[in-house]
Amino acid sequence: MALMTGNEYIESLRKLKLKVYMFGKEVENPVDDPILRPSVNSLRMTYDVAQIPEHQEVMTTISPITGERVNRFTHIHESTQDLINKVKMQRLLGQKTASCFQRCVGMDAFNAVYSTTFEIDEKHGTSYRENFRRFLSMCQEKDLAVDGAMTDPKGDRSLPPHKQPDPDMYLRVVERRPDGIVVRGAKAHQTGMCNCHEVLVMPTVAMSPEDRDYAVSFSVPTDADGIYIIIGRQSCDTRKLENSSLDVGNVEFGGVEALVVFDDVFVPNDRIFMNGETEFATMLVERFSGYHRQSYGGCKVGVGDVLIGATALVADYNGVPKASHVKDKIIEMIHLNETMYSCGIACSAEGTKTPSGSYLIDLLLANVCKQNVTRFPYEIARLAEDIAGGFVVTAPSEADLHGEFTGPWVNKYLMGNAAVSTENRLRILRLIETICMGTASVGYLTESLHGAGSPQAQRVMIARQGNLEHKKELAKTIAHIDSKH
């Protein structure tokens, strides 16, 4: 079985014995919990859409490892076309869910670890690549969802891992045994961990030889002994408990983030992909970050498509679709959205082959892509709120809309275009609210800012990849300046 259906995915989650905590209590049934279920539905779309023939090219491909058709989320990029199809797939899924569909981090981790293990083995004679190929083959054959885990809590960020007052602020090896290692620490901001079958762990910063215990990469099942998942809060999350599809905004789909604790988790030798090779931590971090920064040129653009559509609808419902300033603002939203997409496609088209045979995006353009993503969604959201008007944050509840006493007043005074029901106007306002300020804003705005590293992290990489000295030489040549003087 190389491709699961959405139903099969849901049933596979039920077999996991995850330890999930929310609001101070253990969640007995994470799959059906009303707060968590929208995030399950979002990831499920990565399976459902892969079953649709018209989307087969972008959602699936033939694996050179198994020889079978596999979900692109488990694939190693073999060409620039693979990189381009990845971005197209992410935009499509963003359009389908208007939320974070959570499977991108694992895909980007696959590709970063695949090429890095090849180069570690070349230098040290280790067998990490073969370990990883076996793990990857299993994920492809079973169509598993994998959480990529990179971000450590970091503690005092002025100090490297080995100098932290609490050594667990970065995930580390606490015991090396003949049959494997034992790790302790945590990974923060973990997108979709409670909806995944496996977790693929990577280091999060460049490291010195003194940080040897922290230079570790491995995989374990998400329900392994010692793993605890603590769900992060989202704005308006408890609205999902109120039995109101209108007030939730995006009732079917959503994202989820978590703090994941690794409390002395055992990792067998055949699941280890890095174990103390500190000089390769930078390579792994930069490659993963580059792939993930490319990803934002697809997924956030798809969500932006939905937000632009909602904004155009609310202009219709407010009766101002022909106002020149409204049309101009919507054009600007489209311009910003397509600029992000262009960057995602550009860094893919300019990708190059790594020594392992897989393809890596152009790192400079990937970081430019993500730098734009840290800014443009905020402007798109601002314009959406501008056009939507004040009711996007002051509208009464669905209970008031249908209340015996309040209903007639709400229906009367919140009517816009008489051809559109008050309820439909409120529904589109709530969708805009959800994307810009509610539960979906985590996966659209805040994730656009901090996902795959902070804005400053991209600027560091842009400075490193920008080849400024070459640009100086170009100017000297044009200006007839002799470099020797």
Query: Active-site residue 447, yes or no?
Result: yes
Instruction: Please tell me whether residues 171 and 94 are part of one structural domain.
Output: yes
pLDDT for the residue numbered 424? 98
Q: Can you tell me whether residue 182 is helix, strand or coil?
A: strand
pLDDT for the residue numbered 485? 65
- What's the mean pLDDT in 281-299? 97
- Higher local confidence (pLDDT), 439 or 5: 5
- Higher local confidence (pLDDT), 482 or 404: 404
- What's the mean pLDDT in 375-400? 97
Query: Among 281, 312, 344, which residue terminates a domain?
Result: 281
Using a 10 angstrom Cβ sphere, with 0-12 exposed, 13-18 middle and 19 or more buried, the burial of residue 237 is buried
pLDDT for the residue numbered 19? 98
Q: Which of 46, 60, 116, 191 is an active site residue? A: 191
Could you tell me the residue range of the domain that residue 97 belongs to?
7-281
Helix (H) or strand (E) holding 353: strand 352-353
Read off φ and ψ for residue 463, nearest 5 degrees: -65, -40
Query: Among 260, 281, 302, which residue terminates a domain?
Result: 281
Using a 10 angstrom Cβ sphere, with 0-12 exposed, 13-18 middle and 19 or more buried, the burial of residue 208 is middle
Write the CA distances from 365 to 94, 352, 377, integer angstroms: 22, 12, 18
Instruction: Please tell me whether residues 265 and 289 are part of one structural domain.
Output: no
Q: Which of 128, 214, 291, 296 is an active site residue? A: 296
- Give the distance from CA 186 to its chain's centroid: 18
Tell me which residue has tokens 């392994």. 224
Domain count, the chain: 2
pLDDT in tens, 208-247: 999 999 999 999 999 999 999 999 999 999 999 999 999 9
Instruction: Please tell me whether residues 88 and 128 are part of one structural domain.
Output: yes
- What's the mean pLDDT in 115-124? 98
Q: CB under 8 Å to 343, separation ≥6 — which residues?
A: 297, 365, 368, 369, 372
Q: How confident is the model at residue 470 (pLDDT cuts 50, 70, 90)?
A: very high
Instruction: Please tell me whether residues 160 and 274 are part of one structural domain.
Output: yes
Instruction: Please tell me whether residues 246 and 290 are part of one structural domain.
Output: no
pTM: 0.96
Query: Active-site residue 100, yes or no?
Result: yes
On the question of pLDDT at 313 being above 80, the answer is yes
Cβ(70)–Cβ(161) under 8 Å?
no
pLDDT for the residue numbered 83? 98
Q: Which of 119, 286, 398, 447 is an active site residue? A: 447
pLDDT for the residue numbered 1? 61
Using a 10 angstrom Cβ sphere, with 0-12 exposed, 13-18 middle and 19 or more buried, the burial of residue 407 is middle
Q: Which of 299, 343, 347, 436 is an active site residue? A: 299
Q: Which of 9, 60, 61, 104 is an active site residue? A: 104
Instruction: Please tell me whether residues 53 and 200 are part of one structural domain.
Output: yes
pLDDT for the residue numbered 90? 98
Q: How confident is the model at residue 324 (pLDDT cuts 50, 70, 90)?
A: very high
Write the CA distances from 139 to 165, 220, 229, integer angstroms: 38, 12, 22
Instruction: Please tell me whether residues 297 and 253 are part of one structural domain.
Output: no
Read off φ and ψ for residue 18, nearest 5 degrees: -70, 150
- What's the mean pLDDT in 75-82? 98
Nearest CA among 68, 91, 37 for reference residue 344? 91
Query: Active-site residue 299, yes or no?
Result: yes
Cα–Cα distance for residue pair 232/271, rounded to 1 Å:
28
pLDDT for the residue numbered 418? 96
Cα–Cα distance for residue pair 193/18, rounded to 1 Å:
10
Cα–Cα distance for residue pair 300/292, rounded to 1 Å:
12
Q: Which of 75, 77, 197, 292 is an active site residue? A: 292
Domain assignment present for 95:
yes
Of all residues in the chain, the percent with pLDDT exceeding 90 is 97
Tell me, what amino acid is at 24?
G
Instruction: Please tell me whether residues 69 and 99 are part of one structural domain.
Output: yes
pLDDT for the residue numbered 484? 74
Q: Which of 74, 77, 100, 151 is an active site residue? A: 100
CATH number of the domain within which 338 lies: 1.20.140.10
On the question of pLDDT at 423 being above 90, the answer is yes
Instruction: Please tell me whether residues 131 and 96 are part of one structural domain.
Output: yes
Query: Active-site residue 191, yes or no?
Result: yes
Domain assignment present for 453:
yes
Query: Active-site residue 114, yes or no?
Result: no
- The CA-based angle 4-147-140, given to 5 degrees, is 35
Read off φ and ψ for residue 266, nearest 5 degrees: -85, 135
CATH number of the domain within which 70 lies: 2.40.110.10
Instruction: Please tell me whether residues 273 and 318 are part of one structural domain.
Output: no
Q: How confident is the model at residue 440 (pLDDT cuts 50, 70, 90)?
A: confident
On the question of pLDDT at 483 being above 80, the answer is no
Query: Active-site residue 485, yes or no?
Result: no
Alpha helices per DSSP H over 391-450: 391-394, 398-401, 407-413, 422-436, 439-441, 447-450
pLDDT for the residue numbered 443? 87
Q: Which of 119, 257, 398, 433 is an active site residue? A: 257
